[in-house]
Amino acid sequence: MEGTSSCSISSSSTPDGKAEDANQSAQTAPAVKEETVGVEERPLKRGRTEPPGATAGPIRESVESEAPAAPASNSIGAPSGDSIEMTEEETPPAPWVGHQNGVTACRFSPNGRFLCSSGLDKKVIVWDVLTGTRLNVLKKSLEDGGHTAGISDVAWHWSNDYVCTASDDKTVKVWDCATGKVLMTLGSWNQYDVVDSHNSEVVCIDSNVNGNLIASGSSDMTVRLWDVRSGKCVQTIEAHSEKISSISFNWDGTEFVTSSYDGITRLWDTGTGLCLKSMVPPPKSQLDSSVFNATCARFSANGKYILSGVMDSSVRLWNIGLGKCVRTYSGGHLNERYASTVAFDKHKGEHVFTGSDNGEVCVYNLQTGAVFQKIENPLHVPIIALDTHPSKQMFAFGALKGDATLSVKSMGQAGKYI
């Protein structure tokens, strides 16, 4: 393999994005093939930045605010933090059992105490991480403001008190985890008071670190930024030429990344809505110029790298500063049909995780690219939900079909996940 690069990603990053101990974390990566990133110099076409009647100020002011405003009756503004006291429902027969259909997404809370999972059964379940106990089920009827179709993604508010959901019913909803109430609905095709809405399924969602912005991506190929205080769409970006498969903010919320079925992973400036870089894997050969769907993209903890899953059964590691693909992970997982999720090891930064079409989670060594471990799902169905714990060597994953579809694994004494 040609070329060398330094590739050290640490989850213990300081506010300036640098590792706490640069001397210890700086490791020289083995020789890797570097692939140039396609950089778009021309900004993509954008929608209006503030719809008529919106009460939100400029996006830049919203992004740079020090903290969310005090909560209003329809807002998830200032949080109560760890003071959350959830109402425990009837305990399921076994840990992590509760969905009646496939799990589409799972996310650990910022403090690591809770896990939420979304499913095709139109509900989100909040779990206790230590016991696997179901703490609350977020599901409402149409009359009570619930989703009318399956939920495709879920994300936590930084307070650990609220979650936001993306659904095939074209809406985004904000939920109170303790009461199970819908606090806010962002966009709906049948709500005449909504200025701007997705006109197709909402596929992915994320909330920035300040908790004042929610970003959603859709099959309508647009990204929408929502101001949490007002509930208004404050920016619409025509981001891709195919369905958007994932969206994620970086550590300070100043940038976000999207992946799409057009095969492109793009980096965006949150304040301006401009595309900063477009990352496109090169053709496999001169004779094969096929473009494969990009299924998921995630930032490293320090915001200097992007991990991107591609539907050619590979995961690419992009160095944002260099504008290059510095490593490709392949050979251990199958991804040719389903939108598998990828994830960094947030705790120690040693591994890369990806779901697989054959019902396995494949763990790669981040530095060498070698397969570290494969974890099998007994149901042998595709894994599309995946997340790693913020402070422990632990990860959760969910399967696309079946009843007992959520699992949590921790690092054992033998150095393997069990």
Q: What is the pLDDT of residues 203-258, one digit of tens each?
A: 999 999 999 999 999 999 999 999 998 888 999 999 999 999 999 999 999 999 99
Distance CA 386, CA 400 (A): 11
Q: How many Cβ atoms are within 10 Å of 229's Cβ, its own excluded?
A: 22
pLDDT at 141: 77
Using CB atoms within 10 A of its CB, is residue 111 exposed (0-12), middle (13-18) or buried (19+)?
middle
Q: What is the pTM of this model?
A: 0.78
- Domains of the chain (ranges; CATH) run 26-410 (2.130.10.10)
Question: Residue 28 gets which letter from DSSP?
Answer: B
Pick the closest to residue 279 from 295, 300, 294 (CA basis).
294
pLDDT at 403: 57
Distance CA 91, CA 133 (A): 7
Residue 366: phi, psi to the nearest 5? -60, -40
Pick the closest to residue 395 from 379, 381, 404, 383 (CA basis).
383
154 forms bridges with which residues in the sheet? 165
Torsion over CA: 212, 279, 31, 365 (sign): positive
Name the CA dihedral angle for 71, 299, 269, 61, rounded to a multiple of 10 degrees: 20
Distance CA 64, CA 271 (A): 9
The distance in angstroms from the start CA to the end CA of the chain is 33
The per-residue pLDDT string of the chain (418 residues; one tens digit each, 9 = 90 and over) reads: 433 333 334 333 333 433 334 333 333 333 444 444 443 333 333 333 333 233 333 333 333 444 333 333 333 333 334 434 444 444 334 668 888 888 999 999 999 999 999 988 888 999 999 999 999 999 887 777 888 888 999 999 999 999 999 999 899 999 999 999 999 998 865 544 445 788 899 999 999 999 999 999 999 999 999 999 888 899 999 999 999 999 999 999 999 999 999 999 999 999 999 999 999 987 766 676 678 999 999 999 999 999 999 999 999 999 999 989 999 999 999 999 888 899 999 999 999 999 999 989 999 999 999 999 999 887 788 999 999 999 999 999 998 876 557 899 998 888 899 8
Distance CA 216, CA 347 (A): 26
pLDDT at 291: 80
Kindly give, in sequence order, each residue whose CB lies less than 8 Å from that of residue 335, ignoring residues fewer than 6 positions away.
295, 309, 310, 311, 312, 313, 314, 354, 355, 356, 357
pLDDT at 399: 86
* Residue pair 139/122 in contact by the 8 Å Cβ criterion: yes
The pair of three-digit structure tokens given for residue 77, joined into one six-digit string: 């503004």
Q: Residue 385 is which amino acid? A: A
Distance CA 368, CA 329 (A): 9
Distance CA 305, CA 13 (A): 13
pLDDT at 188: 66
pLDDT at 146: 87
DSSP H or E run through 22: helix 22-25
pLDDT at 189: 52
DSSP H or E run through 225: strand 222-227
Q: How many Cβ atoms are within 10 Å of 66's Cβ, its own excluded?
A: 5
